[in-house]
Structure 1
Amino acid sequence: MPAPRTESEIRGFLGRLQYISRFIPRLTNIYEPIFRLLRKSQPTVWDDQCQRTFEKIREYLFSPPVLVPPTPALECMLTQLDDLGKERVIYYLSKRMLDYETRYVMIERFCLPLVWATQRLRHYMTKYSMHLISRLDPLRYLFDRPALIDRLMRWLVLLTKFDIHYATQKSIKWRIVANHLALLLVSDGRAIDDDFLDEDIVVVTSLSDWRMYFDGAANHSRYRIGVLLISPHSDHIPRSVRLAFSDRHPAMNNIVEYEACILGLKITLELEIRQMEVFGDSNLVLRQIQGQLKARNVKLKPYHAYLNLVVGRFDDLSYTHLPRMQNQFADALATLPSMIDISANTIVRPLLIESRLVPTYCCLIDEAELDDGLPWYHDIYKFFRLGIYPEVAIAKDKRALRQLATRFMIYGETLYKRSANGMLLLCLHRASADREMREVHAGVCGPHMR
C-alpha cells in the first residue's frame, strides 16, 4: 500500500480509515499528523512525521489477526430491588458455549441462556417471581409457535415451572455489565441438562421450615403445658399435657415453661427433625437456653442442664420471643387439660378445627353452575394476551396455568390448542360450540353422528 501524496489521495486514505475506525483504538490521535494536512492554512507537505504515522497504521493493519470473531458465550446477571427501589446485584453468571450449541438456530440460541440461568439460579427462581430483561421475549416466541418439536418443546415445559415476566430493556447500563461478563468466561464443559427433574426431589423441603410453639400455665391447683408443631406444609401437630406431679414436686411458672419446651423438643426428635425454629413467650427460658442468662435458681438448674443435653442433639435451632397474644394456640393447648378430666385409658384423637363459610342447610340447595358469560379458556387467553393471572390465583394455580398454556397458542385474536399430531384445534366458547354441533348434525354427516 503506497503512501498518499496529494490532497485527494489523503482524503481517500482517511475515508477508508474512518470506515474501520471502530476496530482501531485511539485512531483519531494516531492519524492527527496526516489530518492536519487537510486544513486550509496548512500546506500539503508529506513530512517524516506523516510517514511515521502512515507506517504505524499500515503495520497495525498488517499485523495478524486484524479482527477476531467474538467467542460465543452465555451471560446472565441477577438483581433485586431494595427498599429504595435501586437494583442490587446478587449473582453474576457467564459460560462459554459448547461447540454443538454454537450450531443452534437463532431462536434456540436466544432461549438457551434463559434455560441455563433457570438451572443455575433454581433456588432463587422457584420461590420468587422473576422479571426477564433481554432483547426479546423467548417465552412469547415459544408460546406463539404453532408447533414445537424436540428441544424447544422440552424447554417450554421446563420454563413454565417458573413465574417469569418479560420486561423491556429501559437502559443499556446492565447490558454493558452482561457483555463484560461474556469476556470473563468460565470453561464449563458440562452440557445443559434439559431433562425433566425428579418431582420427588423437587418437592423436598428444608427441615429448617419446621416451627415449634410452646407455653405453660400454672395456678394454685393445676399445672399444664401445650406444644404446637407446624410443618413446612403448614400441618399443625398439637400436644397438651397435664402435670400431675405437683403434689410431690411443687412447681412454679418457669418450671412449667421448661417442661413445655423440653416436651416439644423431644417430640421433634422422635420425628427425626434436627433443624427448627422455636417460639415461646417465656423470655427467661429462651435467654437461658441461648446462654444469655444463667440459671441461678436451684429448682431450674437440673431443668437447664437436661435441656442443654436435648438441645445438643439438634443441628440447628433458632429462638424467637413472642408476646403472649401471638402465642395463643399454644396457650389454648396449655389451658385445655385444666378444663376437663380425662381418665388414663381414654383415647383422644387429634382435634379437627375447620372454618365454614356457609350454613349447614346450604347443602340442601342444588349447586347451580355459575354462568359469568366468559368462555372456558378466558384465563388462558388473558395469560397469552396480557401475561396476567386470575385475581384469586395462588402460586400453585399460576404454575398450573403456565403448564396448561404450553398446550395452546394464539394467532391474531384466535386461540388454538396443539393436538398430539401437531394439528391446531380451534377453541370455541359454548354458544359457538353448540352452533357448530348443530350444523354438523344437520349436514351430510348427521346420520353418522352419535
Structure 2
Amino acid sequence: MDGFSGYNQIKMHLEDMEKTTFVTMWGTFCYKVMPFGLKNTGTTYQRAMITLFHDMMHKEIEVYVDDMIEKSLIEKEHVQVLRKLFLRLKKFQLKLNPAKCTFGARLGKLLGFVVSEKGIEINLDKVKKCDPIFRLLKKHNPDVWDKECQKTLDKVKHYLSNAPVLMPPSPDKPLILYLAVFGNSMGCILGQHDDRALEDYKPLNFNFSNKVLMYVATTEEGAQEEQHWKLNFDGASNAMGNRIKAVLVSPNEDHYPFTSKLDFDCTNNMAECEACIMGICAAIECKIKVLEVYGDSTLVIYQLKSEWKTRDPKLIEYRSLVLELIKEFDDITFCYLPQDENQMADALATLASMIKVNKQEDVKPI
C-alpha cells in the first residue's frame, strides 16, 4: 500500500508555517502541511509512522516512509489485520493511493528485492544487465564473446570504477577486498582497517527527538508491565469552554500529554470524568499494567474509589465505564492531588479551550 501525497498529510506546526513562505503574483503564501523537498521531511514522516503504528510494526505490518506492507500467514488473519490497519488509518485521517495498492498478493517487490512466502530473494530484473556474461558460464553454451557481452562488461566496469568512496584511503595501509558471491549476484567492497575504530562500541544513550520512540526502542515488550506509571488528569467547564487534559508519566519521569476540547454541554465533574477516561484509554493503548491515577476533583476520585456514592445520574455511566476499563490493569489506584500540584494538566487543559472545534465533532483531540 502506498500513502497518497504522504508528506502533505502531516500538518505544519503553527510557528513553522511562516518559515515556508513563498511569493507569487497573487501574494505571499505559506504551507499549512509539510511540503516535499524540505531536508527533514522524510525523517519526520518516518518518525510519525513509527509513532502511529509502533505496536503493529514487525508483527503485522512493515512501514518504510509512505510504503506499507500488511503481512499474514492465513487469509482469515489477512482480513482481520487489514481491518485493524484501516481503522488506524481512519483514526489519524491518513489516506492511501488506491492506484498503487495491491491486496492478497503472495509476493511483491520491495527496495530492490522480492518478498514472498519463501523469504527475501534477489529481484532478477535488477541483475538482467549481467545475464550475457553469466550465460557464458553455463554448460553447452558456445564460448563466444559477442557485442552484447562487451557492452555489458563496459557498463559493469564503469559502475565499479565510479563506485562511491566512503572514506579516502591511506597510502601507508594495505587495501583489503571483501567479496560476496552468490548464485545469481555478487558484491564487493574495498577498504582498510582503521585503528581509530572502537571495538564493541555501545553508546551511553540514544538521542531520539521523540521520547515515545526512545521508550519503544529501549524497553522490552514485557518490562513495562511491572513498572509503575502515573496519570494526572484535569477537566474544566466554564466560560472559556469545556476542555480536558491528561498526562502520562513514565517511571523515568518522561511526560506524555493528551488534551482535547469537548463540544457538548457538560458539568465540571463530567469534564473531569472525560479527562480520566481519556488518560486511562491512552494507558491501555500503551499496554501499561500498573497505574497510579491522580486528580484534583475530590468528588470524582472518591467516587471511583467507591468511598463515596455516585448520586448524580450523569456521572453513573461515567463511573461504570471507568470500572470496566480498569479491568485491563493488574493494579490501579486513585489518589487525590490538590490543584496547585496539578499545574501541568490544568495549564494544558486551558490551552485546549482556545482551539476551535467543528460542529460535527463532540471531542477534538489536540
Do Structure 1 and Structure 2 share a fold, with TM-score over 0.5? no
Give the TM-score normalised by structure 1.
0.30
In terms of fraction of residues, the more strand-rich structure is 2
TM-score calculated relative to the size of structure 2: 0.36
